[in-house]
Amino acid sequence: QNKSYNRVWIPDAEHVWRSAEILRDFHVGDNVLELLLEDGTHHYPVDPSNTRLPPLRNPDILVGENDLTALSYLHEPAVLHNLKVRFVESRIIYTYCGIILVAVNPYKQLPIYGDAIIHAYSGQNMGDMDPHIFAVAEEAYKQMARNHKNQSIIVSGESGAGKTVSARYTMRYFAVVSKSGSKTKVEDKVLASNPITEAIGNAKTTRNDNSSRFGKYTEISFDKKYQIIGANMRTYLLEKSRVVFQADYERNYHIFYQMCSCAHLPEFKNLRLLSADNFQYTSMGGDITIEGVDDKKDMEETLRTFSLLGLNKDFQSDVFKVLAAILHLGNVEIRNSGDDKSSVPPSDPHLAVFCELLGVRAEGLVRWLCHRRIVLVAETVVKPVPKERAVNARDALAKQIYAHLFDCIINRINTALQAPGKQHAFIGVLDIYGFETFDINSFEQFCINYANEKLQQQFNLHVFKLEQEEYMKEDIPWTLIDFYDNQPVIDLIEAKMGILDLLDEECLFPQGTDQSWLQKLYSYLDANHLFEKPRLSSQAFVVQHFADKVEYQCKGFLEKNRDTLYEELVDILRDSKVIKGRILLQLLFFGYTVDSLWTPYLPRVKPANKQLRTSVGEKFRSSLSLLMETLNATTPHYVRCIKPNDEKLPFEYDSRRVVQQLRACGVLETIRISAQSYPSRWTYIEFYSRYSILMSHQEADLNDKKQTCKNVLQRLIQDTNQYKFGRTKIFFRAGQVAYLEKLRLDRLREACITIQKHVRGWSQRRKYLCMREGWAAVMIQRHWRGYRVRQVYQLVRLASITIQAFTRGWMARKQYRKIYAPANPLFTCQMLKEHKALVLQKYCRAWLARRRFQTMRRLVLNVQLSYRVQQLRKKIEEQVNIFGSFILIIQIVLKNIPGRIAENNTEILREDHEKEMEILKEEIKRLKEERIGLNRKLEEVDQMNSDLQEQVIQLTKHIKIIPELRRDLSSLQNQRNNVDRKMKQHQSFLSLYRHFEEKAEELEEVKRELQSQVEELEEENDHLKRLQQIESEAKSKLRQETSRLTAENMDFEEQLDQKDRLIKKLQTQIKSLETSQKGTDVASKQTSASAVPKDYLGMLEYKREDEPRLIQNIILDLKPKGVVVNVIPGLPAYILFMCVRHADYLNDEAKLKSLMNAIIGGVKNSHHKDLNLLSFWLSNMYLLLNSLKQYSGEEEFMKQSTPRQKKNCLRNFDLSEHRQILSDLAIHIYHRFITVMEKTLTPTIVPGMLEHESLQGISSMKPTGFRKRSNSIYEDLDTYTISSIIQQLSDFHSTMTQHGMEQGLIRQAVKQLFFLVGAITFNNIMLRKDMCSCRKGMQIRCNISYLEEWLKLKDLQGSNAIDTLKPLSQTAWLLQVNKSTDDDAKEISEKCTELNPVQIVKILNSYTPIDDFEKRVTSSFVRKVQSLLQDREGSTHLMLDTGYRFQVTFPFCPSSQALELLQVPSSLRLDFLTKI
């Protein structure tokens, strides 16, 4: 085992399982496994005959996964640890376990159930998002719509685990995602049923403040459009005993306390209610309030939901009367009258109130509470009963009244929720009790555990079936998997002569008792190994359930199974005057016949009616069978609720309590079934992405990724039995994924070490070079070396000059001698003398040199001699030591010789001894002589040494003078250097002064040149302005001419295409020419000479009857892809405005109003869901709105208008109201336009921003378990990338630009789209734990940079669109930043300003390392961040509102278009318009 993976789980009494590290390899035959625990070493015993080693622990990288089946080692401790990590450290309450959703109750309100989260899960595949109750609901809804099959969601768990809340959230999800839009508000009614059922069926227990004391199966009906049309509820096993008895610290049903809290209200005055602690039925538990619960407010909610369901006031009044009567009945005092008799005081106030509320006779009620009728064969006897039995009769009556009231309310709710149409499909939500085992278990626990046995059997078969289908779908050989079948336990309970059958049989006997029934169980079931008799009790029996052994106390089984109620009491209620007038109470008791009662004291004859002996157990078994038939006909989805601790503390995890529930709810059975074969399953894409690092270059270059995965796996794992290749997945046996993770980690570690080595080397070299540049030593060395080089240079220069001087002198003298010496005898004599002097000098110098050499030679010889003397002394001492030791050896030998000689030949030995002595004496003599010689040499050496010391003293005196000479020399040299330096500084100052003078002259010249250039540029600028003005005038004329020519060109094209209508067109042109001639005449009279053409006024005339044609042709039939529209996108707006101007010119109010209404109506009907139409008409409405403002005559809109435009303003009408209507219409079109773009863009956002790897190799997939992602398939389909998002944005921008949309409007639309991208991406990160990693943060920041580049490319930086991505950008930064120290926490709190505390904590808790090199965020660090953020104000929502819209504005933008120059192309078929 590698040391990184040698961790195991060992059993522990406190924590169930503890982690330990193996210290020594285990070998076959060892009886002890050495482990290292946190508190020291531990020896784990191992049985050599049955080697069962402790289970291995998964690598840390696999811990905390969304699906428990993604773990490599599947066993109980792995499941327990994974749930703990997710719940305690990551604050995640939901986890998948194959097909099961495990929900751990947090005992705290979490912000994960809002409508935004519902919409985020809507339409998503189950593996794409984090585990959630909404994901299960969406899966059920989707399968119902896709497969046209009914679904069921089974929510189970023990009391306090959160079953009711989970079921409520599933129903709320269906109500939100399937809103029908009808006025009946069926969805609200379905949700409104929950408060009522919780009020009458939930109560406080020691384990749960809102415990459901009944099972409930709610069928939510859907029509063919899969919208809710109704619902129906079925209930199971209401705990009636709670009405008359509550244990300590428990309460009765909530409705009683709600009524008592409102006793002072007028509508409850007639009920004579008291405080809850004054009624026996509500005060037995001693605790009448619940912390944090306001019963009065809950009552208001109950009344509101009664009304919402259509239950009228009379019905509500009847319900409250019956409930109040039950409370007063509990306070009726029954006294002991002696002789097994009992009585009720006639003046009992509660008896009077009970009789008044229900309208019954007090005498009859008192009589039959204290008496019973016994029917014999020949007569009927009335016999009094003791107080105990009278109290039991009173309580039985109260229980039956409440039970039938409960059923009646459920029936009325079902009637209110009844579907008006035909049901197409339904989704059932089963909220039922989980497996229960208490210190004292009775009939209720037996029925509950019986129901769970049936549900567990159905669950096992379903899991087995899914497993088999998975193997067959992937073409994997199917081998029979052994799974636990609990049919024997079910047979023990429900089969003939089983527990229930024997119980019903015993109930038939009038004298039957619990003890007699128990003895029958012992005798009939003793051979069954699942049934046991307790050793220490004779009042109980034990059943081995699938979850655990449960001991049941037999006391009360018969009474609860009989559910006895006397007929006489029912007759009294049936004769009530009040009951006969009330529908509710008729349902309660008129339908309550003798057949439905249990009458135990009848003669022992076979009853004619089989209903007569229907017991509670039999009813429950029948209803349970019906429920199982319903579930088997649907596709089940499982939610297992877990209670993490008994103290109801938030996010506290008690491993012992959790493991009990995991064993009981089937989670571990699912794990066991999965672990038997190939538990780990990866798609080929996941495997390729995760383990591509283990591939060679040749393997990675293959295009077939599936074959590549096969090749790599066959190379890495030699045993082919450890994995199987399916069509789309690879199946692994337990532990193989952990082995692959080890190989991957080793490869990454090697690569990291290599990278770190080179990076550290580069970094250190860089630091060294930076430090080296600033070192003082390096600076000193540099200057010193420069100084020395300069000094040597000066010395060499001086020597060179001297040599040159002497050489030149010598050469000159030599030349002189050649020329003048022969002619001058005096010179020759002089030369001879000089030659002799040179010879003398030569020999003298040679003698002095030899003398100095001899002196140095003697000095060296003396030194060598002293060294050799020292060596000789050492050698002599060594020889002396050797000689002494040798003499000692001889003496020892001589002492031992006499003894040895005595044994041998004495004479021979003596001779040999004498010879040896002689030889030794000679040797000693020789050594003494050598010693004497050496002593002499030592004396000579000492003499020579003394001479040398004297010479050394003399040399030392001479040497002392040398430093003084050197100091003098250095001082002189320093003085010289100082003088040189000062000279050089003076010269440099002079040179700088000259240089500055030269620069000043140059700058003067440059200044003069620049002034001349500035003058030239000013002249050129004036010239360019004149040219620009001329050019703009020419462009305006050219534009006008171009529009005119374009229109004429369109006319010519139409004429060529429609030759058959040539005559008609010519006639139309003649008419238009005549009209235009008239218009020209009018215009010539009204306008003066001007540069603008005088022919037209920019108005179009039409007849009133042609108005529909105008709207039809210019609005309804116009397509934005035509040639004319491409050239002038705003042409429809200009044409419509020119028509408006003409109506204003004519002062025709009716025509103007009709035209404006027609325009608004036409535009409303013209756009639906077409992007091009919406963009086109948004642009035209904006242009029309601006035209109405520009020509309104208001000063603020005329500042940039031309004189001609100012002259053509509207004259007669104020169209400000119509402008407001047009503005509202434009806003509506804008929002429709944004909606269509969002609908197109939304599918690309999550794949492009989160799932696609824009940085290749940065991210790597991890196993997802049973719930695979929707995109995790082998086929390489066309997936969306960041390029897809950018391309879509470019298409939108191109469309808006093509239709001439104003830039301000484009910027607002782009900002809205960027907000959508950021919000959807952010929301997915919040709901996807697999996206919260450092590498994913890098991907997101890269994608944001791409979007920012696109904004720069399109010149849209001014839109502030990038600011809408700040939450996403800060999220990416938060994923990448270090998260360990206090400084990190402070930095996070300071920089994440766009995120609220809830979002920051969610990201930190969801942070998931991709590799072992990353660290999880500790709980202590999260608490630090929370403490720093506790004072931050703002939103507490987890999600961003993707439906948020920024306020759109339409800024005024005047048009430069001259309306009088516009030509109406004949292709628009507007020949009925006449230009004025």
Residue 159 a catalytic site member:
yes
| Cβ-contact 1032, 1456 below 8 angstroms | no
1204 in Cβ contact with 1238 (< 8 Å): no
Beta bridge partners of 211: 203
**Residue 212 appears among annotated catalytic residues:** yes
| Residue 1094 φ then ψ, to 5° | -100, 0
Q: Is-contact 25 1, C-beta < 8 A?
A: yes
DSSP 1369-1384: HHHHHHHHS--SSHHH
- DSSP symbols for 799-857: HHHHHHHHHHHHHHHHHHHHHHGGG-HHHHHHHHHHHHHHHHHHHHHHHHHHHHHHHHH
Active site residue 160: yes
Select which of 159, 193, 437, 1396 is catalytic: 159
Active-site residue (options: 98, 434, 1130, 1265): 434
Please tell me whether 556 is known to bind a ligand.
no
DSSP of 531-599, one letter per residue? EE--SS-SSEEEEE-SS-EEEEE-TTHHHHHHT---HHHHHHHHT-TTGGG-HHHIIIIIT--GGGS--
Q: Between the CA atoms of 792, 795, 801 and 803, what dihedral angle is there, to the nearest 10 degrees?
A: -100
Rounded Cα gap, residues 1322 and 539, in angstroms: 62
Q: Which residues contact 377 (CB under 8 A, 6 or more apart)?
A: 603
Cα–Cα distance measured from residue 356 to residue 376, given in angstroms and rounded to the nearest whole number: 35
**In 3D, which of 441, 633, 634 has the Cα closest to residue 547?**
441
CB burial of 104-131 (b: ≥16 within 10 Å; e: otherwise) equals bbbbeeebbbeebbbbbbbebbbbbbbb
Is 114 flagged in the annotation as binding? no
The answer to whether 1434 is annotated as binding is no
Answer yes or no: are the C-beta atoms of 1321 and 1274 closer than 8 Å: no
Task: Compute the distance between CA of residue 145 and CA of residue 158 in angstroms, rounded to an integer.
Answer: 32
Query: Looking up tokens 């076979």, which residue turns up?
Result: 606
Task: Find out whether 162 is annotated in a ligand binding site.
Answer: yes
Burial track 1024-1058 (b if 16+ CB lie within 10 A, e otherwise): eeeeeeeeeeeeeeeebeebeebbeebbeeeeeee
Residue from 6, 156, 164, 205 carrying the catalytic annotation: 164
Q: Is residue 671 within a helix (H) or strand (E), and if so which, with residue range?
A: helix 667-675
Strands 635-642 and 151-157: parallel
Annotated catalytic residue 1216: no
Q: How far apart are the first and last CA of the chain?
A: 97
User: Any known ligand binding at 1202?
Assistant: no
Laid out side by side, the sheet with 680-683 consists of: 680-683, 729-732, 723-725
C-alpha to C-alpha distance for 568 and 589, rounded to whole angstroms: 12
211 is catalytic: yes
The strand pair at 549-553 and 540-544 is best described as antiparallel
Told to judge if 434 belongs to the known catalytic residues of this protein, a careful annotator would answer yes
> Which residue out of 160, 330, 666, 1318 is catalytically annotated?
160
Does residue 11 sit in helix, strand or coil?
strand
CB 85 within 8 A of CB 65: no
The single residue of 211, 452, 1166, 1180 carrying the catalytic annotation is 211
Angle between helices 133-147 and 163-177 (to 10 degrees): 50
DSSP single-letter state for residue 1255: S
380-384 vs 341-343, strand pairing mode: unpaired
- Catalytic residue, from 6, 170, 202, 208: name it: 208
Q: Catalytic annotation on 72? A: no
| 158 annotated as a binding-site residue | yes
159 labeled part of a ligand binding site:
yes
Q: What are phi and psi of 738, to 5 degrees?
A: -65, -40
The answer for 534, left when phi > 0, alpha when psi is -120 to 50, beta otherwise, is beta
**Contact criterion met (CB below 8 Å) for 1448 and 1230:** yes
The one catalytic residue in 212, 615, 1186, 1389 is 212
Residue among 164, 165, 174 at smallest CA distance from 109:
165
Of 138, 187, 250, 436, catalytic: 436
436 flagged as catalytic:
yes
Q: Is 157 annotated among the ligand-binding residues?
A: yes
Report, as residue numbers or ranges, the catalytic residues.
Answer: 159-160, 164, 208, 211-212, 434, 436
Output the known binding site for ATP.
157-164
Output the known binding site.
157-164
